[in-house]
Amino acid sequence: MKTGKIIRRFTAKDGREVILRTPKWEDADDLMELINSLIEEGADIMYDVKLTRDEVVDWLSRAIAQLEKGNAFCIVAEVEGRIIARSDITKRRFSCESHVGDLGILIKTGYRDIGIGTEMMKTLIDQARRMGLKILTLTVSATNKRAIHVYKKVGFKETGRIPKGIYRNGKYIDLIIMVKEDSQLKK
């Protein structure tokens, strides 16, 4: 798939126009600002150390290469010309697991609870079907209730936990494993 390709447009619950598209090289600074703003916020995500521009460019390079090969699908959400969210599915690389995709999503503060996450998840699920995936997996902090709600809403189910799988701010937090299986990907 090409970089910068618009996948869909929709209006968020707050009336703002949202464009979902594949990432492009020019997005590096916006992507760095997105992830680092989440880290500064102390958001309930797996990252906890700010990324450098070189690290973001390395990630973007890999993401674009995998997108072009069809081994991954990545989209960004753009509002008023700025990237406010990123999500992706990565097909597992071993042939015995190539029917499984790992999913991730990040949304900037000020853009949550207005339907963007749900629309991004629906788009990822649709693309997973096109990629021939039968199972989608994700992990989420047990304290990230907002994300867990969205994942359940689009059909993910908790299948396990890693007790104390995350250590942040002097506390251990369970890491929840969630899965959406074959029959659900057909919907």
- Of the pLDDT bands very low, low, confident and very high (cuts 50, 70, 90), residue 175 is very high
Kindly report the pTM of this predicted structure: 0.89
Say what the pLDDT of residue 84 is. 96
What band does 21 get if pLDDT is binned at 50, 70 and 90? Answer: very high
First to last CA, the chain: 23
Ordered by where they begin, the domains of the chain are: 6-185 (3.40.630.30)
Cα(122)–Cα(7) distance, rounded to whole angstroms? 12
18 CB contacts (<8 Å, ≥6 apart)?
9, 10, 11, 12, 77, 78, 79, 116, 119
Please report, rounded to a whole number, the percentage of residues in the chain having pLDDT higher than 90: 79
Task: Output the six-digit token pair for 107.
Answer: 């949304």
Q: Determine the Cα–Cα distance for residues 64 and 91; give it in Å rounded to an integer.
A: 14
Do the bridges between strand 135-141 and strand 100-107 make them parallel or antiparallel, or are there none, so unpaired?
A: parallel
Q: Look at residue 113 and give its three-state secondary structure.
A: coil
Triad 67, 27, 154: Cα angle to 5° = 55
Instruction: Please name which of 149, 146, 170, 171 lies closest in space to residue 158, comparing C-alpha atoms.
Output: 149
pLDDT the model gives residue 186? 55
Q: What is the mean predicted confidence (pLDDT) over 128-146?
A: 93
pLDDT digits (tens, 9 = 90+) for 32-88: 999 999 999 988 888 888 999 999 999 999 999 888 888 899 999 999 999 999 999
Q: What angle do CA 152, 109, 67 make, to 5 degrees?
A: 65
